[in-house]
Structure 1
């Protein structure tokens, strides 16, 4: 484990100890690896029986001597590496069928092309001229629309619908994801609202993972694009014409309005909203429950409603708190 994550065992005498699982600090037993990186978990540490604790150099001294300790520069990353080594099949959902099996209860259009090794579970539907790559799994209830292409070794979860889309290799779509439906486009007309045609596609590049019940709309007249290795949480809405770069993290219940451009390596905290036609630069971070109303510079850390630089936001919140205290004191004095 130490070699795997580039860490250091503080007691080399326990180097031959075997561990077989990972667990939360409080529930960990003698065969489990646990993570300790925050003093707020000290009560859990006091009752833990973990067989190995992964921590940082900063917190190692606070761990009782009877625990085996592995010190890593980035404990959370190291803990993730250990977990993947112990449970290699848990990194990607598995099919209920044998690899390469196509259920007799599935419906595959005669013009669809399936490379060898595609697995299709019962009640999945593959439309005309669709192309599915080897090693890909289509779970039960999946609908793949006409002309869609899905690369190799991807997993399309139960009840996912894919329309007007090109999907790369090693992509994971969790249950209930909706890809490629019409975006929300209307203009006022003589008789009321008139629909703006939605004729673009969704392009999802290699290594993307999209959480359950997330929706990604097709472009109106250009494509919606999700960049390589980006990870999107559950219950996220991505509107038409949005471009998201590589290696981004978008947390649950985020809403991104139409024609937004998000750079590479951007992180957006949960329940945040991004206004239409906004650009968020490479490496920017948006705090949870923020509203992004204007462009965000590359590398910036913004938060609040409307979002602004985090330092300004914290300073303003402190001033408001101070004003509130003053107002309450004045009310008491007047009384």
Structure 2
């Protein structure tokens, strides 16, 4: 991969060592000492790069590939030209992702604004009642409120605000311009630029003279190893908690309403909106710009296509799409039928006179 100056290449690792880290195996141990320095897509791979393939559609690209190694499953190894070392993995995509993290560990967390590993910036404001464990880094102009607790190895980004009594676990990374209020956050959590956590949920009761505000006295609870993308907003609970489960990954610009409960190891793509008190099970995948009505339950393992509107409960394990969301195969059949009808009508009608 062409180097861009932001992420310097790795000094180099032997292919056999990288394969061991990935839990993979070499196709030929004669290539054990090949040096790998970077990851790259197959079309741009050069000497020192490792890339991956997932199907036979990559056959033509392999013919001109200049990579120093290719990750693939056993069934595709025969496609790789003999001069290119092969790393055999049962999950090439995941192995490639792991290789990227090994070669570029700094890229696994938000970009930092200080080079130190144990420093508190002079311009940071830390309340004397806050408790910071050893190894906490606080970047310039960050604010840490009274009673806050921050665990060992966590970094608080420039101009971020950690509110009173907030608790953040160990080895976390809070990027720049983040605000966190009324929240308990676990270990290894990554929060990207501009995220807002713990502000009021949207709760009002219609009254004779207009809307009456409902107090929002709950919390946000974020479990271990969650990652939250830039400018996402997570409201605190009204009289319950808003919960994000362990290992869940949330993209940029997602809105999570009050009392929402998201399970473990979910993936939620950008511009999704989850209305209040929605319950999402474990392992759910939600495509971009999906809207979910409040007070519904999404079962474990559900997949929801982009731009869908979810109005009712969805049973576990299903794939859904459309507005309102329905089983994906039904939705795709309807779309195909509409396209056929639209095309037929256009041919029959001819020109508009």
TM-score tier (shorter): over 0.9
Q: For 1:11-49, what per-residue CA distance to the aligned partner results, in whole angstroms no more than 9, with x for missing partners? A: 432222111111121221111001222455556444431
Q: Indicate the residue corresponding to 1:223 in structure 2.
A: 241
Alignment of 1:173-188 (within 5 A): 173-188=191-206
Cα deviation, residue 94, structure 1: 5.9
1:196 aligned onto 2:209: no
Indicate conservation of the 8 Å contact 1:97/1:119, yes or no: no
2:229 to 211, 228, 236: 211
Tell me by how many angstroms 1:82 deviates: 1.9
CA contact (8 A) 2:306 2:321 kept: yes
Query: Would you say the 8 A contact 1:206–1:228 is kept in 2?
Result: yes
The runs of 5 or more residues in structure 1 that have no matched partner are: none
Give the whole-Å Cα distance in 2 for the aligned partners of 1:9 and 1:29. 19
Q: How many residues align?
A: 335
Report 1:82-121 matches (<5 A). 82-93=99-110, 95=112, 96-121=114-139
Distance 1:195 1:67, change over 3 A: same
In structure 2, the partner of 1:270 is: 288
Aligned partner (choices 291, 294, 300) of residue 318 of structure 2: 300
CA shift for structure 1 position 248: 0.8
Partner of 1:321: 339
Cα distance in 1 between the residues matched to 2:207 and 2:180: 31
Alignment equivalent of 2:89, drawn from 55, 72, 75 = 72
Change (3 A) 1:334 1:214: closer
Deviation at 1:3, TM superposition (A): 3.1
Which residue in 1 is equivalent to 2:251? 233
Q: Distance in 2 between matches of 1:316 and 1:178?
A: 39
2:6 matched residue in structure 1: none
Q: Are 1:139 and 2:137 counterparts?
A: no
Residue 34 of structure 2: which of 17, 29, 35 is its match?
17
SS of corresponding position for 2:343: helix
Using structure 1 for the length normalisation, give the TM-score.
0.94
Q: Are 1:165 and 2:209 counterparts?
A: no
Once residues 293 and 251 of structure 1 are traced to their aligned partners in structure 2, the CA distance between those partners, rounded to angstroms, is 19
Q: Which of residues 100, 117, 127 in structure 1 aligns to 2:145?
A: 127
Alpha-carbon separation, structure 1, partners of 2:297 and 2:164: 32
Coordinate RMSD, CA, aligned: 2.0
Q: Can you list the C-alpha shifts for 1:255-293, whole angstroms capped at 9, x where unaligned?
A: 111110001111111121111111101111111221111
- Contact kept? 2:111, 2:175, Cα under 8 Å: no
Counterpart of 1:53 in structure 2 is 70
Q: What CA distance in whole angstroms lies between the structure 2 residues aligned with 1:228 and 1:281?
A: 17
Equivalent-residue separation in structure 1 for 2:49 and 2:352 (angstroms): 62
Counterpart of 2:54 in structure 1 is 37
The C-alpha deviation readout for 1:58-102, integer Å capped at 9, x for no partner, is 443443343322232211011112222223333223641422211
Distance, in Å, in 2 between the alignment partners of 1:331 and 1:114 is: 73
